[in-house]
Amino acid sequence: MKLLNTYEDKDEAEAALSKIDGEKRLASERDSTVIIYNLFGQPTWGNFFKLEMFSLPELKSMLELRKTGQSIDQKRYEEIITILRYVSRTFDLSIPEHWL
């Protein structure tokens, strides 16, 4: 398990916990007067998508448009892929070929 995200709102953190698959846990810590909720879980593209991280829902929409022959914002697409390359190195994941 790895740290996937942090939240300042307990309800939001618990909602995120319920969305992801696999081994997971929520840990809280106090930072001054603020409680921070750390979400730990399996770093998978599916879990990141369910948490709506790294612009994955936007990428999905772009790929669906591209699949039907419609144009996409190429600059934004390249920005998302750059982010995903960083994420893939950080979490030791492979970017699916059909995303590239």
Q: With 80 as the cut, is the pLDDT of residue 31 above it?
A: no
Q: With 80 as the cut, is the pLDDT of residue 13 above it?
A: yes
Q: How far apart are CA 53 and CA 51, in angstroms?
A: 5
- The neighbouring-strand residues paired with 30 are 35
Helix (H, G, I), strand (E, B) or coil at 30: strand
Each residue of 46-65: pLDDT tens digit?
Answer: 999 999 999 999 999 999 99
Indicate the domain borders of the chain: 1-53, 55-100
The helix-helix angle for 74-91 and 56-67 (nearest 10°) equals: 130
Reading the block at residue 1, the tokens are: 């398990």
- Give residue 33's pLDDT band: very low, low, confident or very high (50, 70, 90): confident
